[in-house]
Amino acid sequence: MTDTKDANVLKEEEIKEEAAEQVTEEAEAEEAKAGEEAEANAESENKDVQPEEDSDTRYLRLMADFQNYKRRAEKEKTDLYAYANEKIVSELLEVLDNFERALGQEAGDGFKEGMEMIFKQMNNVLEKAGLAEIEALGQDFDPNVHSAVMTEESEEYESGKVSGVMMKGYKLNGKVIRPSMVKVVS
C-alpha cells in the first residue's frame, strides 16, 4: 500500500508540475501578445503624432540645439565678465564727482595741479575698465541715457535739446550704469 501511495503522490506531483508548466507557458504567451500589442499601439501613436524622421534629421537637430546652447553659454560668460566690475565702478563714480567739485574750487597752484593729476589717473583707470561718459550737453534728450531734472527756456538750444548737465552720466561697456541728470529746453 505504501508503494501505491508513493506512486499516487508521484503522479500527483507530476500532474501539478505539468499544470504549472502549462499555466506558465500560457502566461508567457499572454505577456508576449500584450507586449506586441502595446508596441504596435505605440508605433501607431508615434506615426500619428510625429512624422517619421530619419536618423540624419534627428542628428542635425541635436547638433543645432547644442550649438545654440554653446552660443548662449558663451554670451552669458562674456556678459558676466563685462559687468563684474559694475558695483565698484558705480561706487567710484561718487569719488570722481568729488574730485571734479574739488577741482572747481580756487586753491593754490600746487594743490590744483596735484588734484588734476590724480583725477586724470583715476579717469584713465576707469576708462580701461570700460567706463565712458555719456555726452549730454547740446544733444537730443534721450530718456534711455538722460534723466530730466528740470526744463527751461533757452535761446541757445532748440526744444528737446539738453541745455545743461547737473550730474554726468556714465556707461560701463555700453550699459548705462548712471543716467545723466540734465536740464531740457521746453
| pLDDT tens profile 3-31 | 555 555 556 666 666 656 665 666 666 66
| pLDDT tens profile 67-105 | 999 999 999 988 887 777 777 787 788 788 877 877 777
**Sheet arrangement for strand 146-152:** 146-152, 180-185, 162-167
d(CA 121, CA 119): 5
Amino acid at 134: I
Which cell is 150 given? 528740470
pTM above 0.95, yes or no: no
- Specify whether the CB–CB gap between 115 and 103 falls below 8 A: yes
